[in-house]
């Protein structure tokens, strides 16, 4: 689009391409509701006001028109569908822009995984921006599939215009200890005027000052109002997160007030397909915030202009001249629901259904083969045996709908695991990346299985395979099935597979429609419940049990990890 062509449309001298009539326009700048028409030219808004002539007229009949919604931070891979299918799903719910961190696929496939996400989504209507993962591998306490170097970071950020900066810096000890490689990456970004995203759960006072001194200006890990307010007071943009397990909106929304609301944004981080299909995406967070007493326009700002301003997306997040024609039509602000979604001046969805066809950049010369990097051979029951002379067992205690784990000591020896009566089950993490077997075995408490086993190839952040079970045979069958599928989720009982979901794209994503994936996940949940599972979503909890950067006790393919001390610990407990 040339500026000289849009000006005559804005002046009303040339008919608009599309005219939205009889609108109640949510003005995120003034905080007011304006009544008028919106003239669109190509993919832009030409003007707001007394316009009448257009090639196409859409009468919204007094409905509200809201800017397209923006997700400030997410991992598309957690939707468990390929990125174009993800775009279809969230566009139908009014999300028109996302800032994605391809951290998960990068740990599996390296640079080729990031380029797959970027190149495959070229031309897709959803505005997909990327942040280059800051730490691949995530830690030195597990085997990962790849390494993203400083040189890789420079290449990606300069090669692709949709790269906005450096992804969440989870290695906050590396910042505080002035890790040379990590600081180098940040120096590159700040001298290119790019953003650096944060990940600093619980960081406070001088340590928070030091972390922010590294030009890290956002955080999505707040869990209390006090934490959020401290981080905002030190210049951070706080992304209120509402994922499938980490749900922080209820605990944080009370911190939002008229003085600070511009420094809050919404993000989903990791949201499963069944939650997207059932509840929606950022639109769900807008509804929830309003139900908690936040003014509708404030909630809409947090879902649009606040994030756009933080990331320097100068043409997004508002309904104003020269801004992108990305808008939602809704009948009510209090009962916010996107009845019509307009993307680039085209009606793309109605009442939660996509009505415009689009696909990924399948004709591009580079489409990586995302085969999941599975190199490990099948395992045997002998690989799952426990050898320990200890008299007590150290177990990972898991909780429903929580990423946090605890350490719990049981007064029986490790060689008595599993102890179904005490709900202490055997857990194993199996590396997918090595031709030689690399397996760690531990204990987990809180899942509740009475029989069978469950397994998944989704294991943040390196995505090795994990399996929990009541017997070694079912555990072996579950892992070997995942290896055969090159990724997936499996429920097994008495040697029989009760439910499965293949994840052939990097062992993380399905090539099925999101509704079908959501349906299969529901069957997996039902199957796990039939085995006795006490968790609402055991697969999401299991997928985070390897995450060695969040407290307390974790397990990787190299062993049990005390995430607070950043050191390995034994399964057998020798203390008092």
Position 366 scores a pLDDT of 47
Rounded Cα distance, 396 and 427, in Å? 9
Assess whether pLDDT exceeds 90 at residue 455. yes
Residue with tokens 């749900």, as numbered in its chain: 247
Q: What is the mean pLDDT of residues 537-557?
A: 91
pLDDT in tens, 161-195: 999 999 999 888 899 999 999 999 999 999 999 99
Position 1 scores a pLDDT of 81
φ and ψ at 273, to 5 degrees?
-60, -35
Rounded Cα distance, 263 and 208, in Å? 17
* Distances 181 to 98, 155, 178 between C-alpha atoms, Å: 28, 16, 9
Sort residue 275 into left (φ over 0), alpha (ψ -120 to 50) or beta: alpha
Assess whether pLDDT exceeds 60 at residue 364. no
Position 404 scores a pLDDT of 85
Choose the CATH number for 3-62 among 3.60.20.10, 2.40.30.10, 2.30.40.10, 3.10.20.30: 2.30.40.10
Tell me the domain boundaries of the chain: 3-62, 69-313, 381-573
Position 135 scores a pLDDT of 86
Assess whether pLDDT exceeds 60 at residue 367. no
Position 6 scores a pLDDT of 97
From the CB of residue 276, how many other CB atoms can be counted at a distance below 10 Å? Answer: 26
Assess whether pLDDT exceeds 80 at residue 222. yes
- Select from 453, 542, 457 the least CA-distant residue to 503: 457
CATH code of the domain occupying 69-313: 3.20.20.140
Residue 245: band (very low, low, confident or very high) from pLDDT cuts 50, 70, 90: confident
Rounded Cα distance, 149 and 310, in Å? 26
Residue 368: band (very low, low, confident or very high) from pLDDT cuts 50, 70, 90: low
Q: What is the mean pLDDT of residues 32-41?
A: 98
Q: What is the mean pLDDT of residues 501-525?
A: 96
Mean pLDDT over each residue of the chain, to the nearest integer: 95
Position 576 scores a pLDDT of 61
pLDDT in tens, 46-83: 999 999 999 999 999 999 999 999 999 999 999 999 99
Assess whether pLDDT exceeds 80 at residue 336. yes
Position 551 scores a pLDDT of 84
- % of the chain residues with pLDDT over 70: 99
Q: What is the mean pLDDT of residues 215-230?
A: 97
Residue 549: band (very low, low, confident or very high) from pLDDT cuts 50, 70, 90: confident
8 Å CB contact between 230 and 224: no
8 Å CB contact between 572 and 413: yes
Rounded Cα distance, 338 and 347, in Å? 12
Position 540 scores a pLDDT of 87
- Select from 38, 105, 133, 27 the least CA-distant residue to 342: 38
Residue 360: band (very low, low, confident or very high) from pLDDT cuts 50, 70, 90: confident
How many C-alpha atoms does 486 have within 13 Å on its Cβ side?
A: 14
Position 363 scores a pLDDT of 47
CA-based R_g, the chain, Å: 24
Assess whether pLDDT exceeds 50 at residue 269. yes
Q: What is the mean pLDDT of residues 480-494?
A: 97
Token representation of residue 481? 């099935």
Residue 403: band (very low, low, confident or very high) from pLDDT cuts 50, 70, 90: confident
- Select from 375, 339, 402 the least CA-distant residue to 540: 402
- Domain 3-62 identical in fold to domain 69-313: no
Q: What is the largest CA-CA distance in the chain?
A: 87
Residue with tokens 């468990």, as numbered in its chain: 80
Assess whether pLDDT exceeds 90 at residue 36. yes
Assess whether pLDDT exceeds 70 at residue 362. no
- Select from 268, 250, 251 the least CA-distant residue to 307: 268
């Amino acid at each position: 689009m040339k500026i000289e062509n849009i000006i005559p449309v804005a002046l009303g001298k040339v008919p608009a391409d599309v005219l939205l009539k009889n609108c109640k326009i949510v003005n995120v700048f003034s905080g007011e509701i304006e009544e008028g028409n919106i003239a669109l030219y190509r993919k832009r808004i030409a003007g707001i006001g007394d316009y009448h002539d257009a090639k196409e007229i859409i009468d919204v009949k007094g409905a509200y028109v809201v800017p397209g919604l923006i997700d400030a931070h997410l991992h598309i891979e957690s939707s468990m569908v390929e990125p174009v299918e993800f775009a279809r799903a969230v566009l139908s719910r009014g999300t028109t822009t996302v800032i994605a961190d391809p951290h998960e696929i990068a740990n599996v496939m390296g640079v080729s995984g990031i380029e797959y996400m970027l190149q495959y989504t070229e031309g897709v209507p959803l505005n997909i921006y990327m942040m280059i993962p800051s730490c691949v591998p995530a830690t030195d306490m597990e085997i990962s599939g790849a390494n993203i170097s400083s040189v890789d970071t420079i290449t990606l950020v300069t090669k692709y215009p949709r790269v906005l900066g450096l992804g969440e810096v989870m290695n906050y000890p590396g910042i505080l200890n002035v890790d040379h490689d990590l600081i180098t990456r940040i120096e590159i970004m700040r001298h290119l005027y790019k953003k650096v995203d944060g990940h600093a759960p619980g960081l406070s006072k001088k340590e928070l000052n030091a972390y922010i001194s590294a030009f890290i200006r956002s955080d999505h890990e707040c869990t209390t109002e006090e934490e959020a307010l401290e981080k905002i007071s030190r210049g951070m943009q706080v992304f209120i997160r509402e994922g499938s397990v980490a749900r922080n909106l209820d605990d944080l929304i009370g911190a939002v007030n008229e003085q600070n609301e511009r420094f809050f944004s919404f993000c989903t981080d990791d949201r499963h397909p069944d939650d997207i299909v059932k509840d929606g995406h950022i639109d769900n967070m807008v509804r929830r915030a309003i139900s908690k007493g936040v003014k509708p326009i404030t909630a809409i700002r947090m879902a649009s202009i606040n994030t756009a301003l933080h990331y320097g997306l100068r043409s997004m997040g508002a309904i104003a001249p020269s801004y992108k024609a990305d808008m939602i039509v809704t009948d009510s602000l209090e009962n916010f629901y996107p009845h019509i979604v307009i993307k680039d001046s085209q009606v793309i969805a109605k009442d939660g259904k996509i009505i415009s066809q689009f696909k990924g950049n399948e004709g591009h010369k580079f489409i990586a083969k995302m085969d999941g990097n599975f190199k490990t051979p099948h395992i045997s029951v002998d690989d799952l045996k426990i050898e320990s002379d200890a008299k007590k067992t150290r177990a990972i205690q898991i909780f429903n709908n929580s990423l946090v784990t605890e350490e719990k000591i049981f007064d029986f020896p490790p060689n008595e695991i599993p102890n179904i009566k005490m709900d202490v089950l055997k857990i194993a993490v199996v590396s997918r990346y090595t031709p030689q077997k690399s397996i760690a075995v531990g204990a987990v408490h809180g899942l509740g299985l009475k029989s069978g086993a469950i397994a998944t190839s989704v294991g943040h952040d390196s995505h090795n395979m994990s399996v929990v079970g009541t017997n070694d045979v079912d555990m072996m069958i579950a892992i070997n099935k995942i290896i055969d599928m090159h990724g997936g989720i499996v429920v097994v009982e008495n040697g029989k597979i009760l439910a499965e979901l293949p994840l052939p794209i990097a062992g993380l994503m399905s090539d099925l429609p999101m509704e079908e994936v959501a349906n299969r996940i529901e069957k997996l949940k039902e199957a796990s419940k039939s085995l006795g599972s006490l968790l609402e979503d055991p697969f999401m909890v299991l997928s985070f049990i390897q995450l060695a950067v969040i407290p307390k006790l974790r397990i990787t393919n190299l062993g049990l990890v005390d995430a607070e001390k950043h050191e390995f610990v034994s399964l057998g407990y020798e203390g008092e």
